[in-house]
Chains A and B, each alone.
Chain A
Amino acid sequence: MMVEKNVETPEPSGASPLLTITGLQKSFGTTPVLKGIDLTVMRGELVALIGPSGSGKSTLLRCINRLEEPSAGKVMLDGVEVTSAQADINQIRRHIGMVFQAFNLYPHLNAEANVTLALRKVLRKSRSEASAAARAALDRVGLKARYAAYPGELSGGQQQRVGIARAMALEPKLFLFDEPTSALDPELVSEVLNVMKDMKANHRTMVVVTHEMAFARDVADRVVFMDNGLIVESGTPDYIYGSSRNARLTEFLRSFKDRSGPR
């Protein structure tokens, strides 16, 4: 049962907001992790979320598609309230592609079947339609020859690209990336980042939690710095990496330079 108007991929259109988060809070037990987040993401925009571990970046991402239930606040995606109690969460999630740090591919299915599963079960595509869409998505992430490969037979970088293809094939309005390169060997990081740059060039809307500072600086439209459950600083890469004088941000960036050397 598809609602036809929701199925189409949104056209990139200037400066209209796609995702609006207001007053978002999340506590685990009595521990507050998100303390009131306001964030708007425009269509076609790539927002990089940076910050020290434990700052709430991943939790924020997971509240957007309600893998975590927010404790308070509101998430709107393209005019639909994700956080509403009446929301059809499965229909909404199909419009929010997610890419995980640990890939989370289905180990018992080959690359193509990893991608077709939701196409068939959620979009109710026929076997041949789903297969064509899956192969197109795998082609776009540079895995043309690996349709039949099982996750265990692929390198980490290839696995993550299957993960991206799995999200991409559903043609979601929004992509969430949860530290997509953190589990990869250094030499495999660039193949995944290149796919993401390609998506950005195709005006996909993306929210990316990352520790790849060079990627955030070079590719993001906006960089959001989180610390201790709050958005502390936000702006263009030039501002964040150049002119911001926020003490916690400078400290965070300095720790980064110390760790990985000049980039």
Chain B
Amino acid sequence: MQLIAQYFFDISIMEKAIPFLLRGLVTTLLIAVLVVVLGLSLGLALACLRSYQKRLPNLLILAFIDIFRSIPELVLLIVAYFALPEFGISMPGFVVVVLVLSLVMAAFTEEIFWSGITSVQRGQWEAGRSTGLNFTQVLFSIVLLQAVQMVIPPLTNKTISITKSTALASVISVSELLNQASSQQALYANPTPLTLAALLYLLIFLPFVIFSRFIEGRYAVKR
């Protein structure tokens, strides 16, 4: 019992490590917010573009989402950070992680938004078109809102999972929460900072997870 306290809950180490971890937490949150906002926006934009059913854009969208959904995020990060500089494209770790995770988020959410758009009944399109609205007007005034409403549960799910992927940034030396915790752990040769990091993740993401449950209930499709 004492050993557990000493290795995982050493108060004096906690006190010394916490300023670093909080700094890391800010970076984690910043990455998470940017990735969610950019990823959702791009995913929605691609799904809208796809609904026009033009051959070339659709082919490009499908290629993009299939590639980014197939390759593990960690592999993408490492390739972007360590291999792209060989081709003269060198970006700071923070930019790489935001970019890569946003693209992955966009690829997954495009497919989610798209499934929402296709599950809106055909009669909605027909009713809109019969009153003289054009395709774009029907898409944005009638279909999109219903589509988004239908896919809120998978969207919140993906949002939660991508925010947790921010921890992958530690492997390309972005000083986010896990990265800070690892260096503190190395410094004190004690895993207490990791415990603290886990607690901080819980503290930040648990309310978010609970909040997303509230969103799902609030905007559930009324039938």
A-side residues, CB < 8 A to B, are 65, 67, 90-91, 93-94, 96-98, 100, 102, 104-108, 117-118, 121-122, 150, 152, 163, 166-167, 170
Write out the residue numbers on chain B whose beta carbons fall within 8 Å of the beta carbon of A98: 126-127, 130-131
Instruction: Count A-B pairs with CB separation below 8 Å.
Output: 69
Is B79 in contact with chain A by the CB < 8 A criterion?
no
Q: Which of A90, A102, A121 contacts B141 (CB 8 A)?
A: A121
Which residue, B123, B127, B137, has most C-beta atoms of chain A within 10 A? Answer: B127
The contact string, 1 if C-beta is below 8 Å from chain A, for chain B 177-200, is: 000000000000000000000000
Which A residues touch B223, using CB under 8 A? 152
Given contacts A106-B124, A108-B149, A152-B223, contact A67 B129 (CB under 8 A): yes
Contact of B126 among A104, A150, A170 (CB under 8 A): A104
State the CA gap A102–B133 with chains docked (Å): 19
Q: Does B145 contact A (CB under 8 A)?
A: yes
Residue on B nearest A153 in the bound complex, by CB: B222
Say yes or no: A167 contacts B131, CB within 8 Å: yes
Q: What's the nearest-Cβ distance from chain A to residue B5, in Å?
A: 55
Residues of A within 8 A of B222 (CB): 107, 150, 152
Closest to A152 in B: B222
Task: Evaluate contact between B134 and A90: CB separation under 8 angstroms.
Answer: yes
Provide the bound-state CA to CA distance between A122 and B129, in Å: 10
14 contacts between A and B (CB under 8 A): A90-B129, A94-B132, A104-B121, A104-B124, A107-B222, A108-B145, A108-B149, A121-B137, A121-B141, A122-B137, A166-B127, A166-B131, A167-B131, A170-B132
Contacts of B130 in A (CB 8 A): 65, 67, 93, 96-98, 167
Chain A residues positioned under 8 Å from B126 (CB to CB) = 67, 98, 100, 104
Q: What residues of A have a CB within 8 angstroms of the CB of B149 in the complex?
A: 108
- Inter-subunit contact A90/B127 (CB<8 Å): no
Contact with A along B104-142 (1 / 0, CB 8 A): 000000000000000001011011111111100100011
The interface on chain B, measured as residues whose beta carbon lies within 8 A of the other chain's beta carbons, has a size of 20
Determine how close the nearest CB of chain A comes to the CB of B171; give it in whole angstroms.
44
Q: Mark B14-31, 1 if CB is under 8 A from A, else 0.
A: 000000000000000000
Provide the bound-state CA to CA distance between A100 and B124, in Å: 10
Beyond A104-B124, A104-B127, whether A122 also contacts B132 by CB under 8 A is yes
Contacts of A106 in B (CB 8 A): 124, 127-128, 142, 146
CA A35 to CA B127, docked complex, whole Å: 26
B123 contact set on A, CB distance < 8 A: 100, 102, 104
Q: Which of B121, B128, B146, B149 has the most C-beta atoms of chain A within 10 angstroms of its own C-beta? A: B128
Chain A residues with Cβ under 8 A from B129's Cβ?
67, 90, 93
A67-B126, A107-B146, A108-B149 known; A117+B132 contact, CB < 8 A? no
